[in-house]
Amino acid sequence: MVRARRKSEVDYAAAARQWAENNKDGRKPTMRDVAELAGVSKKTVSRVINDSPLVNEATRKGIQGLIKDIGYRPDPQARGLASRRSYLVGLITDNPTPQYVVNIQHGILDVLRKTGYELVVHPCDRKSDTFLDDARRFIEVQKLYGVILTPSVSEDERLAEIMRELGCAYIRIASIALDMERRMIVTNDRVGGREAAHHLAKLGHTRIALIAGRRSFRSSYERRAGFEEGLAEHGISVPPNYVLQGDYTFESGLALGSEILDLDSPPTAVFASNDEMAAGVLQALHVAGQTPPDALSVVGFDDFETATRVWPRLTTARTPARRIGRLAAERLFEFDDEGNELTGENETVPELIERDSTRRPRKAGSK
């Protein structure tokens, strides 16, 4: 029972003091320093910082204390070089909405901060013909621990294939499950579209237009499908001339907004597939001297900053971007290629936020 004494002549606290004295010049301690002070081999220290179970409890405690006292930090480069990995997480994005990207970043960093990993950002252009090569090089050269992908790059199968080939853990954020569960965070945009539809239907709208998002984004399809499904439940459908093709930019919303106004029999409401386009529609109305929501109810999607900056403030389906980032990062760290159960959530569902950009239609019994 009482063992411990074998070598615990070593007084870790004293060792720490000794270091403080002998190191007036402020050299950063290395693993070797720790090992010498503790009277053990580097390997044992290595085991301690890597939480190996093969270490005596007393030794572990002592070394941990020593490490703390002298402020030792393992060098990620050296660690990475020896173990052929790195302590970097990549974020590959090509999303046009800055607010989305920043929120995702914050969410990821919420998790990374506790881990000692760092986030390397990598915006890219999916249309560039060097896109795949660039991404591969990035991942390979940096030996990334893992990568988080946002729409629309997250939807690129060729990229996913590369990740697999390189054996790099990755999490894809997308609006449907494109991959094995452990590799996905799904933002259920379809539900968001449905909610938006219900909202407008309940208000009494029947003549409803739809502005679709950029074709290369799967969310564009999901949001639309959800919306049409939702309307269908109320026996409403969107006629072809009420379906407009946008690209998720404010400018497209602006242009399409005025197109809507010019229609022979304009709708009483529009669902724009994101806030930026919804903001564009609102602006088109203003430019035309009309007053939303009286002239036209507008529903957006995302609830990023823009939604509350415009007037009237947007009714919109919220995409909890920061939370999505957090989930993605958490999942990355419990990433598991052995196929064990994963614990965390992996789906977010948009919540409809009702604000001022929607109201009952005029004709259908507005007050």
Partner DNA sequence: GGTAACATTGACACCGGTGACATTTGTTTC
Partner DNA sequence: GAAACAAATGTCACCGGTGTCAATGTTACC
Smallest gap from Cβ 4 to DNA, in A, equals 9
- Residue of the chain from 15, 19, 44, 271 that contacts DNA (CB under 7 A): 44
Is residue 358 within 8 A of residue 297, CB to CB? The reply is yes
142: left (phi over 0), alpha (psi -120 to 50) or beta: alpha
Binding flag, residue 169, DNA (CB under 7 A): no
Two tokens at 214? 């950029």
Q: Residue 24: which of a copy of itself, DNA, none does it interact with, CB under 5 to 8 A by kind?
A: none
Q: How far apart are CA 342 and CA 174, in angstroms?
A: 18
- Compute CA distances 168 → 138, 164, 225, 262, 342, whole Å: 12, 6, 33, 51, 18
Binding flag, residue 248, a copy of itself (CB under 8 A): no
Q: How far apart are CA 348 and CA 203, in angstroms?
A: 26
Question: Which range of residues in 41-49, 133-141, 167-175, 237-245 is near a copy of itself by CB under 8 A?
Answer: 133-141
Q: Residue 50: which of DNA, a copy of itself, none does it interact with, CB under 5 to 8 A by kind?
A: DNA
Binding flag, residue 29, a copy of itself (CB under 8 A): no
> Which residues on adjacent β-strands are paired with residue 90?
120, 147
Q: How far apart are CA 34 and CA 48, in angstroms?
A: 11
Q: Is omega for the bond preceding 152 within 30 degrees of 0, making it cis? A: yes
Question: Which range of residues in 45-53, 89-97, 215-223, 232-240 is near DNA by CB under 7 A?
Answer: 45-53
Two tokens at 102? 């920043």
Two tokens at 211? 């502005």
- Residue of the chain from 60, 234, 313, 355 that contacts a copy of itself (CB under 8 A): 313
Binding flag, residue 27, a copy of itself (CB under 8 A): no
- Residue of the chain from 17, 18, 43, 71 that contacts DNA (CB under 7 A): 43
Smallest gap from Cβ 74 to DNA, in A, equals 4
Q: Residue 272: which of a copy of itself, DNA, none does it interact with, CB under 5 to 8 A by kind?
A: none
Is residue 162 within 8 A of residue 132, CB to CB? The reply is yes
Binding flag, residue 49, DNA (CB under 7 A): yes
Binding flag, residue 57, DNA (CB under 7 A): yes
The CA-based angle 281-285-286, given to 5 degrees, is 115
Q: How far apart are CA 230 and CA 225, in angstroms?
A: 8
Binding flag, residue 81, DNA (CB under 7 A): yes
Binding flag, residue 56, DNA (CB under 7 A): yes
Q: Residue 223: which of DNA, a copy of itself, none does it interact with, CB under 5 to 8 A by kind?
A: none
Is residue 240 within 8 A of residue 247, CB to CB? The reply is no
Is residue 149 within 8 A of residue 170, CB to CB? The reply is yes
- Residue of the chain from 120, 176, 232, 236 that contacts a copy of itself (CB under 8 A): 120
Strands 297-302 and 315-318: parallel
Q: How far apart are CA 367 and CA 364, in angstroms?
A: 9
Two tokens at 315? 């009714």
The two most distant CA atoms of the chain are separated, in Å, by 93
Binding flag, residue 115, a copy of itself (CB under 8 A): no
- Residue of the chain from 15, 31, 238, 260 that contacts DNA (CB under 7 A): 31
Q: Which is nearer to DNA, 57 or 157 (CB)?
A: 57
Q: Residue 121: which of a copy of itself, DNA, none does it interact with, CB under 5 to 8 A by kind?
A: a copy of itself
Residues engaged in binding DNA (CB under 7 A): 3, 6-7, 28, 30-32, 39-44, 46-47, 49-50, 54-57, 59, 72-75, 78-79, 81-84
Residues making contact with a copy of itself (CB under 8 A): 28, 73, 75-78, 80-81, 86, 88, 98-99, 101-103, 105-106, 109, 118-123, 137-138, 140-143, 250, 276, 279, 282-283, 286, 305-306, 308-313
